Amino acid sequence: MLVYGNEAVIPADVEIPSLRVIQEAKLDDAEWIRVRQKQLMLIDEKRMDMVCHCQLYQNRLANAFNKRVKPLHFIPGQLVLKKIFPHHEEAKGKFALNLQGPYVVYRVMLGGALILVEMDGRVSMKPINSGAIKRYYISRQ
């Protein structure tokens, strides 16, 4: 008000009018109710448009990302190595091994989870994500 001689109105008050903006526009009650209801219906339409837009955007991003992803396919009986994560008790320091094994794939579950068998025949019933598994290759000479 000090700069331009008018009272400042934030953009949100113009979009969704407050009592002050309504009094300045000099609308009667019936017309105000009609205009307000129309604005509320537009808000719902805008919200649905944004939801659709966000879903399309997320699908485009997922497709762009998944184009370069090469899924790993494991079959039962295949030799693999299991990654050792820092929170496991097997992680003993900076220069410790990163992989553990070899293991044999016992069962492949939906979603990429694997059930592994140790070389002595003990089956681990705890499924492991295939992202934490690498194939183990044996060179034959």
24-48 average pLDDT score: 77
What is the C-alpha separation between 51 and 15, in angstroms, rounded? 20
pLDDT at position 71 is: 77
Find the mean pLDDT for residues 24-29. 67
Question: What share of the chain in percent tops pLDDT 90?
Answer: 27
pLDDT at 85: 81
pLDDT of residue 1: 40
pLDDT, tens only, 107-141: 999 888 999 999 898 998 889 998 889 999 887 76
Residue 8: alpha-carbon gap to chain centroid? 41
Mean pLDDT over 30-52 rounds to: 82
Q: pTM for the complete prediction?
A: 0.51
Kindly report the three-state secondary structure assignment for every residue of 83-132: ECCCCCCCCCCCCCCCEEEEEEEEEECHHHEEEEEECCCCECCCCEEHHH
Residue identified by tokens 């509320």 is 40
State mean pLDDT over 22-40.
73
The rounded Cα 12 to chain-centroid distance in angstroms is 31
Q: Average pLDDT over the chain, rounded to whole?
A: 81
